[in-house]
Structure 1
């Protein structure tokens, strides 16, 4: 065991959890109407709790077991037999388990942005729990757990490169979000302005800081790779923030704060798969391009295709993760065959699997709330609470 590596990954674990609680909850919560903000908090916190339990029982074993190239099996069920002295590389396996658990939390939580203000809470819980085990954990095994897409897998000696989740996290969450947005249909009242842009900015700031653990921690060591990953993460976020604002100014005559921080997230998502290999200048290129590309996809999906992916999960996370994954090969740090092949296989698997899971869960729990509940807001109709005291 290396003490410095262990200490850094424990800190990184806390940073990644910070991304969901409260980072993502605040970011998404500020974007919806005031009558639905508590429902966002409820979904994010509930998903964090449910994924933690499922990751312990089954998810970690499926992702990081050694059954075969397609899934890890259940040999690590409930971490039985793992002691504080059991190692994963140079850190205790229980620390590696906890670090990866925070990824299993934020990935299904990202999907929440696609169906805000109209989703049935019971459906959210059932869908995300099954989705994490059936979609996320196997894909994590394929790429990170020594499975079929890792070095020496079916792609040959050079496997798919995905440092911190361009495919495993952002492509899967983005495509699942798009599938659910199409299945559930648009909100009855679309294009409402964010009820609290300040909350959005605070959430984005927490996501930016937490992403240092997300990408830097994925080095699994306190070394130069982790340092470079943190640096390029920051630079890509900065470049995308500026390019998004600039492009918004050129197209619409003004740069908005919500747009600026959305660009921040686009830059962070895009650098995620490449953070362990690219340098600072390459990070600036990735970030600057991501701010424009992701913004154009937001316009395409919202305005031209009329799909109510409410908080732009696919356009920002899905497109950003896919773009960054391809840029690894563009800059000569990976194989085009391995990168594009993985994107295609994971894409089809995620789309088909997410659709099947949603259809099956909908047999038990309705996907959408009633028109009355949607009109009144999910906070009061579903949870019996209000985010704000209207009498104060």
Structure 2
């Protein structure tokens, strides 16, 4: 065996290896560029946000099993790629609810958003407009309908509606959203009362935040959050004229557990644009809504924040698509943390997806730039997953590209223990 030939290091070759990266002195940009996944943004957000505000975003109801199952459902996807197809150019655009989107996802409605980071919905709307995707403002948003329109004047703005005990408040919001040019209304139907948000109760999280010994201690390593909160305009809610108490208490004081299909008819009569029902959780309700002529449905268990252990939307998706996919457009949310989750949803028949926590992690990590980063991460993952599956458009995705591996299988009725 011959010995390896060695030589004295060549100074020229050493210089070629010593190419140092130029330092970036912009802390926010450096921090966001280091995030390669939504989970990375979550880690940054957790470091920079007080526990009560972070947990409001990150948490779910009761044991949080519903959220865990939703995320596990996407982790249990097996993809089936094709081969030898030209994927040098991939088209991620789609048509949804009467308009276009550059990507197969939009920003979901989230409540109390400026409590997460003071740029709030304005950052989300601006980032959505820049990316060419829709932005949805919540009834419980902390920016007005008109300010969101101003932040996203040429993009698609959607409004999410809770029907409240004081019906005139809800109806006035519908009229304001229509007057501002919002093109789609999400009527949310899974919140007759508030879910048990146990993290909020344990943290003593209230609206507005109240100072206590524990919150002061928690704020010490995060002074920038409190500085932003105390030096920016007072929170403005899209619908609530009074605040005070936990999120659950506010929801229970405003929401009406008596809402029914009669309210759907009333809202339909008021709204001139596309009407989408958000919070659908079974095939039977999907069929009834399609027969009533709604423009779309969103399969959602509210991010696991209402009824814990409710059906996982991604598991429900194929059955609903088979039943009503030819009659109405179907979107999905809950548990999406990766662009591959979005691609899997489209392959299983969803026309669109919505991101909530993923967007808020970016917001908490870096304001508007953080939202831009979250959208870019998901967009890159969507494109890469499509290229690796070797499809060039969303229309080419079919159920044959995805298998939902079984983890939770219903017990047969009458089976022996």
Q: Same fold (TM over 0.5)?
A: no
The structure carrying a bigger strand percent of its residues is: 2
